[in-house]
Structure 1
């Protein structure tokens, strides 16, 4: 496999689990929380700070200022004065680009599709699901979520955060079909069925590129 796969996902859709299973099939790495550890190590920021601002929206500073500062690097005066949320985004942005240059992999969330938009060998996927299935998965995953209503509240909050984060830093719209190469409802085929579909899609994509 020579393709890098990015996965955007609704909370509770199983996107992370699906990414890990696809990665296992191809014998490559899947980066989710692991990306945070590496971004912390390479940027010099503490991991707790990066985790606290991971995929969280921001209302301060303009998008253009963020990208201008990115081009200047970490030592610029503009970077020093930048809000922590922007510094975390840039650290992750940098790490995603480095990871993609090393080897084929799967990267979950963190605007990875946007960070890698200049590369030719990237497939961008979005995983969503039916509310009932997502609530069930959330309750199975989090033992302290004791009702469907609490699971729904958590789901809505997380998706709003991801949407705001993606729409702020990216030039595309989170969850909208034309932002991705393939959008899949994981509730229809289930986790394993969705994994099989993605594997077939990747294999067909790579075969088509060879023709």
Structure 2
């Protein structure tokens, strides 16, 4: 569990000499252009924020974007991937950042309503040999790399901390909170009772862990992936955003 791995509420991590390995999948036959580097231009920065469901990470990401004048990137990733695949945005939104079967569910559900796009997408034998979910995931990776290469962005979730790990001018932040705090937050946000909020948190935690293990082969709770670890059970969202913004000048100077 993340709480077991974190002994400080806010922890600054120095890069390890040995790079932590994560799995980045090879390009699919659908795209022949080289992958962008994901490295922002000099003078620009990228912040990745991963969060436990109910810890307020998305609220903090918006505050950081507003205070630092950065682009807030969340649903834009889903919309861009959906557009490039020619699939309906509603399907992509419902399945985003969930288990390994997310893209398969999207495309199978779409098959009856938009077979023309699917026929184009999966017409070649080479593409048919790859799982449909990898096609979806791969385009998600490409979009994240493109946005990071442009720079000056706050990217929320979707494994960006793994994909951009140890890139210069990139700050990786993990937001977490005690379970009681998260339950109370979700009860208010979704008008749920205590049991319903806890069940939803457990479901989302399992989905996030499955996503990270399946696609990147890592445990996202490991602190060595992050520069800052912030417990919102102790610090307000405004304080958390201030901590992150205070770190940005140092990040911007990285070569």
**Length-normalised TM-score, structure 1:** 0.82
Q: State the shift of 1:100 in Å.
A: 1.2
* Distance change (3 Å), C-alpha of 1:75 and 1:170: farther
Q: Distance in 1 between matches of 2:196 and 2:161?
A: 31
Pairwise CA distance, 1:87: 2.3
Does the CA-based 8 Å contact 2:170-2:251 persist in structure 1?
A: no
User: Separation in 1 of the partners of 2:57 and 2:153?
Assistant: 15
Distance 2:165 2:143 in 1: 15
Distance 1:55 1:137, change over 3 A: same
Per-residue displacement from partner, 1:63-102 (whole Å, max 9, x unpaired)?
xxxxxxxxxxx98644334333322211211111111122
SS of the equivalent of 2:242 reads: helix
C-alpha RMSD of the superposition: 2.4
CA drift of 1:206 comes to 3.0
Question: Which of 33, 57, 60 is matched with 1:15 structurally?
Answer: 57
Specify the alignment match of 1:89 in structure 2: 137
| Partner Cα distance (2:52, 2:185) in 1 | 12
Match of 2:151 in 1: 103
2:197 aligns to what? 151
> What are the equivalent positions in structure 2 for 1:32-181 lying under 5 Å apart?
32-58=74-100, 77-117=125-165, 119-143=167-191, 145=192, 147-181=193-227
Task: Pick closer, same or farther for the CA change 1:206–1:103 going to 2, 3 Å.
Answer: closer
Please state how far the C-alpha of 1:118 moved relative to its aligned partner: 6.7
**Number of aligned residue pairs:** 195
Show structure 1 runs of 4+ deviating over 4 A.
none
* Aligned mates of 2:153, 2:84 — CA distance in 1: 19
Question: What's the counterpart of residue 5 of structure 1?
Answer: 47
How many Å apart are 1:21 and its aligned residue? 0.6
Q: CA deviation at 1:44?
A: 2.7
Distance (Å, rounded) in 2 between the aligned partners of 1:83 and 1:51: 20
CA distance in 2, matches of 1:102, 1:133: 36
- Counterparts of 1:181-200 in structure 2, within 5 Å, are 181-200=227-246
- Helix, strand or coil: the match of 2:66? helix
CA contact (8 A) 1:7 1:106 kept: yes
Shift in Å at residue 169 of structure 1?
1.1
CA drift at 1:6: 0.7
Q: Distance in 2 between matches of 1:96 and 1:76?
A: 26
CA distance in 1, matches of 2:125, 2:232: 45
**Counterparts of 2:125 and 2:91, CA distance in 1:** 21
Deviations 1:23-78 (A, max 9, x none): 01111111112210122123333323322331112279xxxxxxxxxxxxx98644
- Is the partner of 1:125 in helix, strand or coil? strand
